[in-house]
């Protein structure tokens, strides 16, 4: 049995998405677009007699993480640290699942490949109902465009070739299971339209504009988020809502220029990685 191992997984804000339900969790998921963030989750896995999951010093239960450990036949202490808020649309649960997969594989010498670990984490997140596309995006990094749903064996991922400073401002949480568990036909139609727009012109400006249109068409834009996004645009910036959270993200200094107290990071070019 090896020592502990540590992985870093970027955060991920989703601009637009579809819900693609099929029975096989490695084929289910979503299409859509988002931005991987340099603010992410550092996950340490240490073999232990009994599984325990800690996030920022608090013991938590996280179904996706437990499913990953179970798939890897591992009992472990999982310790995660992140500056990102939970449940606010930053893909923290996906990052915890993927980071646990990468670090547990290393700590316990499970000998699986990168894509196999991504598949396990993606399936765990889908089955837990806490996310549909974050894990795949967090395995890619950059500004991923998920053109097909599912894990690495089934999906097709492209990206917007761009780099930028990113600011974010979290107003509150939204429940992913509440939204993706209901009727998602209109949401998926809006997501397909946004994806098609960005595929035709894969630039950051088009990505932000398509994200704003999606939040309106999918009826997910809250009044509070709308107010902040509008203020950023009036101040000459570019902002949109992070799915699914009451969160605004902006390019450059968009939020601070509009007078908001925002945290800043950047597009993170790499996917999740194991630390040396």
Q: Mark the segment that binds a copy of itself (CB under 8 A) among 14-22, 46-54, 99-107, 128-136.
A: 99-107
**Cα distances (angstroms) measured from residue 79 to each of 61, 67, 176, 216, 230:** 12, 16, 23, 37, 38
Q: Between residues 47 and 202, which has the closer beta carbon with respect to a copy of itself?
A: 202
Q: Where are the alpha helices (DSSP H) in 201-234?
A: 204-217, 223-234
Q: How far is the CB of 161 from a copy of itself (least distance, A)?
A: 5
Question: Could you tell me if 160 and 207 are in contact, meaning their C-beta atoms sit under 8 angstroms apart?
Answer: yes
Q: How far is the CB of 41 from a copy of itself (least distance, A)?
A: 15
* Residues that contact a copy of itself, how many (by CB under 8 A): 34
Of 42, 52, 173, 266, the residue at the interface with a copy of itself (CB under 8 A) is 266
Query: Beta strand 52-55 with 76-81: parallel, antiparallel or unpaired?
Result: parallel
Nearer to a copy of itself, 19 or 143 (CB): 143
Sheet of 245-251: strand order equals: 239-242, 245-251, 165-173, 263-266
Q: Does 112 bind a copy of itself (CB under 8 A)?
A: yes
Give, for 238, the enclosing helix (H) or strand (E): none
The answer to whether 196 contacts a copy of itself (rule: CB under 8 A) is no
| Binding of residue 178 to a copy of itself (CB under 8 A) | no
Looking up tokens 């191992």, which residue turns up?
Answer: 5
Residue among 25, 152, 191, 245 that touches a copy of itself (CB under 8 A): 152
β-bridge partners, 273: 8
Q: Pick the closest to residue 26 from 147, 130, 181, 135 (CA basis).
A: 135
CB-CB contact of 133 with 31 (8 Å): yes
Residue 201 binds a copy of itself (CB under 8 A): yes
Binding mask 41-80 for a copy of itself (x = CB under 8 A): ----------------------------------------
Q: Which residues bind a copy of itself (CB under 8 A)?
A: 102, 105-106, 111-117, 141-142, 145, 152, 158-165, 199, 201-203, 266, 269-271, 273-276
């Amino acid at each position: 049995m090896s020592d502990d191992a540590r992985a870093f997984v970027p955060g991920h804000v989703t601009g637009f998405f579809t819900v693609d339900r099929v029975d096989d969790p490695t084929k289910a998921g979503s299409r859509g677009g988002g931005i991987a963030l340099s603010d992410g989750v550092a996950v340490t896995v240490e073999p232990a007699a009994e599984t325990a999951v800690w996030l920022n010093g608090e013991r938590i239960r996280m179904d996706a993480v437990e499913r990953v450990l179970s798939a890897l036949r591992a009992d472990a202490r999982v310790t995660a640290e992140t500056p990102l808020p939970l449940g606010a649309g930053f893909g923290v649960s996906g990052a915890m699942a993927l980071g646990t997969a990468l670090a547990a594989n290393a700590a316990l010498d499970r000998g699986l490949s990168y894509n196999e670990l991504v598949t396990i984490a993606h399936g765990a997140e889908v089955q837990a109902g806490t996310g549909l596309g974050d894990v795949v995006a967090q395995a890619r990094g950059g500004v991923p465009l998920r053109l097909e749903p599912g894990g690495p064996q089934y999906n097709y991922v492209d990206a917007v070739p761009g780099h930028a400073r990113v600011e974010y401002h979290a107003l509150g949480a939204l429940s992913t299971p509440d939204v993706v568990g209901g009727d998602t036909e209109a949401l998926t139609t809006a997501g397909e339209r946004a994806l098609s727009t960005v595929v035709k012109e894969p630039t950051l400006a088009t990505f932000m504009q398509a994200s704003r249109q999606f939040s309106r068409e999918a009826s997910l834009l809250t009044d509070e988020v709308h107010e902040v996004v509008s203020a950023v645009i009036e101040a000459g910036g570019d902002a949109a809502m992070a799915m699914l959270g009451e969160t605004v993200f902006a390019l450059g200094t968009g939020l601070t220029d509009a007078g908001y107290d925002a945290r800043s990071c950047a597009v993170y070019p790499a996917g999740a990685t194991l630390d040396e």
